[in-house]
Amino acid sequence: QDPAAFRAAAAELMTRILEVEDQQVAEIDISGGDTPGGKPDGATADVTTTTAVNGAPPETRTVRKSFVLQGTDWLDCTDPAA
């Protein structure tokens, strides 16, 4: 078995059957940067996503996600199991 090939095939399948219809971000809380001239280094936000899978009726789900600032990019560091 090839784990990398499995992950690639699973990702390809999801792009074919999963349609993201809407995504909204709310209740953003930025952390860090508490010192003069300091920069923020993390954040949390409520992310609401509406998706449809393989033509089924859309479902909406809200998840509190965690982000970390690396350079100029905010990266999602939420546990995938959440």
The predicted-structure confidence for 52-78, as pLDDT tens digits, reads as follows 888 889 999 999 999 998 888 989 998
pLDDT for 82: 62
Helix, strand, coil percent values for the chain (each to nearest 5): 20, 55, 25
Q: Does residue 44 register a pLDDT over 90? A: yes
pLDDT attached to residue 13? 86
Strand order in the sheet with 59-70: 18-32, 40-53, 59-70, 73-76
33, pLDDT greater than 80: no
Instruction: Answer whether residue 36 shows pLDDT above 80.
Output: no
The C-alpha atoms of residue 10 and residue 56 are separated, in whole angstroms, by 19
Stretch 7-14: mean pLDDT, rounded?
Answer: 87
